[in-house]
Amino acid sequence: MTTLVKKLQQEDYARYFDQAISYEQYKLNFEAEMQSEDASPYTQYLPQNWQRQARLDRKLKLRDDVLESLESINTDIKWLLITEHWCGDASQINPVIAKVAEASKGRIDLRLIYRDEHEDLIDAHLTDGRSRSIPILLQFDASFKLLGSYGPRPEEAQQLVKSLLAEGSSYSVPVHTWYARNKQQDIQDDIIELLKRNS
């Protein structure tokens, strides 16, 4: 779904990775933003996204085939996740990515970076060559060679969003209904496919 629009060099990715934060720090920042008195156009989306993310952090259990796919990783890889607190898709997807990284027992080094603070990065990975959609997960080897990417959502959900936008309809409720029905199964399928691209 993502299109490599403007080529970045390996040293560029290494620099972004150094600036990025852990998932635990991301959650602390998220909580702090919700408690802040500084309102933004996105403030209204934060509580529900926090609840979705927290529920998945607590309750999501990875499938056995996802765990088995981690056993096939024969070299350490790095994941850079482009995201934002206000993004509804991120609240459904980020916890899955974080759990996979945690289950990898150190073979996956996951860091998160904010889209709105790093426009050059997201502009190199536009969806369909034009949209700054998130979350976008970038997968690298130890020297920051780009091995693959994933996002901004599973293909079925992406097609649902596209069809609703073409009709001029809002997609927020339908797409989150889709996530609730799918129970993060397609996300896990997609991550298995991404992990196969680690060489």
Q: What pLDDT digit, counting tens, does each position of 26-54 carry?
A: 999 999 998 887 877 888 899 999 999 99
The answer to whether residues 57 and 15 touch, using CB atoms and an 8 Å cutoff, is no
Structural domains counted in the chain: 1
Asked if residue 178 is part of any domain, the answer here is no
The answer to whether residues 111 and 80 touch, using CB atoms and an 8 Å cutoff, is yes
Asked if residue 104 is part of any domain, the answer here is yes
pLDDT confidence of residue 1:
60
Query: 92: which 2 tokens?
Result: 């459904």
The answer to whether residues 48 and 86 touch, using CB atoms and an 8 Å cutoff, is no
Q: At what angle do helices 46-59 and 23-35 cross, to 10 degrees?
A: 150
CATH number for the domain spanning 89: value is 3.40.30.10
Q: Name the amino acid, one letter, at 18.
A: D
pTM check: above 0.75: yes
Asked if residue 164 is part of any domain, the answer here is no
Asked if residue 166 is part of any domain, the answer here is no
Asked if residue 180 is part of any domain, the answer here is no
pLDDT confidence of residue 174:
92
- The pLDDT of residue 122 is above 60: yes
Asked if residue 181 is part of any domain, the answer here is no
How much is the average pLDDT of 66-92? 95
Q: What average pLDDT does the structure give for the chain?
A: 93
Domain residue limits at 87 = 2-154+186-195
pLDDT confidence of residue 41:
81
Asked if residue 8 is part of any domain, the answer here is yes
Asked if residue 39 is part of any domain, the answer here is yes
